[in-house]
Amino acid sequence: MGKIFQISITVCCFLLFLTINALSAPIRPVGPVDVRGTVSEIKWVPEEKLKGIPGMSGSAGHDRVIPEHFLVTLIDYDGVTAETARMMTRYLDWTALKGEEQKDKPSFILLRINYSDRNYLKKDRKIKVRGYTVRGDEGGTWTSYGAVDILSRESLEENIQDYLQNHIESPSYEGKMFCSYELFGTESKGSRKYIYLWALCMEYYVKNGVLMQGTGVSMPVALISVHSRSGDKIKEHQKPVDGEGYGDSIRKIFPKKYHKAIFAESKEYNRRADSLLKDTERQAKIYYNVK
């Protein structure tokens, strides 16, 4: 009886040893692979700092940083097998493929793309991620890639709208900014393109079923676009200063040929303001589905 008990203890210890080592071992890596598809859903996740757990092996035992990243749902994809697609997705979210078990090929892949500019990727864009890899252990899953190619580029209008809504003014009533603009013209200077326009941005939110206005701004703006492999991307802007220096700053920022449009008489100024404001309201009604 004593020998049987000893053998049982030995077997249990051995199984426990195997289990602990399996948990602490690195996951089976994926990649590098080149995967292409259409962005169906997208979520931007800010940087997260994790504390190490004393006694844990691998990365779990050390303080670590999960960098800011996009969590991308990619559909109509190619470049990987069905088995690899399942593995890539489950490493990021084990429950994501619930309901897809009977399919020969998952209808989507989840990708984690580390990137600091939350406006870089957009829904419905076709992209190709080159050199994508997934690795990790009990402390987390880590991804990397060589490059992201935007296969369908934003139009100039989409690029301008995205930039204005995210950089010109911030909402004060937990609403959303909507922008409209009147284009004066564009000029190229070396690798940069200057886009001169009058922008009106207004915050809208819904209260008791009624569309309400919040913070708003109307002014001339010069947007600066830089050429890259994924197309021209607006990186910064210039705007006039408030107060006494307003006129001088406009003359410094904008070419002379646009000064007449900027310093328009009251009738033209009001026409432009009314037209742009109506357009932002139209956008907001569509977004919030209100009349």
Query: The tokens 């909507």 sit on which residue?
Result: 178
β pairing state of 30-45 and 126-137: antiparallel
Give yes or no for residue 263 having a pLDDT over 90.
Answer: yes
Amino acid letter for position 282: R
* Domain ranges in the chain with CATH number 2.40.50: 27-150
Q: 3-state SS of 96-142?
A: CCCCCCCCCCCCEEEEEEECCCCCCCCCCCEEEEEEEEEEEECCEEE
Query: d(Cα 53, Cα 137) in Å, to the nearest integer?
Result: 14
pLDDT tens digits, one per residue of 83-106: 999 999 999 998 999 888 788 889
The top-level CATH class assigned to 27-150 is mainly beta
pTM for this prediction? 0.53
Query: d(Cα 197, Cα 182) in Å, to the nearest integer?
Result: 6
Give yes or no for residue 8 having a pLDDT over 70.
Answer: no
Evaluate whether 93 touches 48 at the Cβ level (below 8 Å).
no
Query: d(Cα 124, Cα 151) in Å, to the nearest integer?
Result: 11
β pairing state of 210-228 and 231-238: antiparallel
pLDDT tens digits, one per residue of 180-213: 999 999 999 888 999 999 999 999 999 999 999 9
pLDDT tens digits, one per residue of 116-170: 888 788 888 889 998 899 988 877 788 999 889 888 766 788 789 889 998 999 9
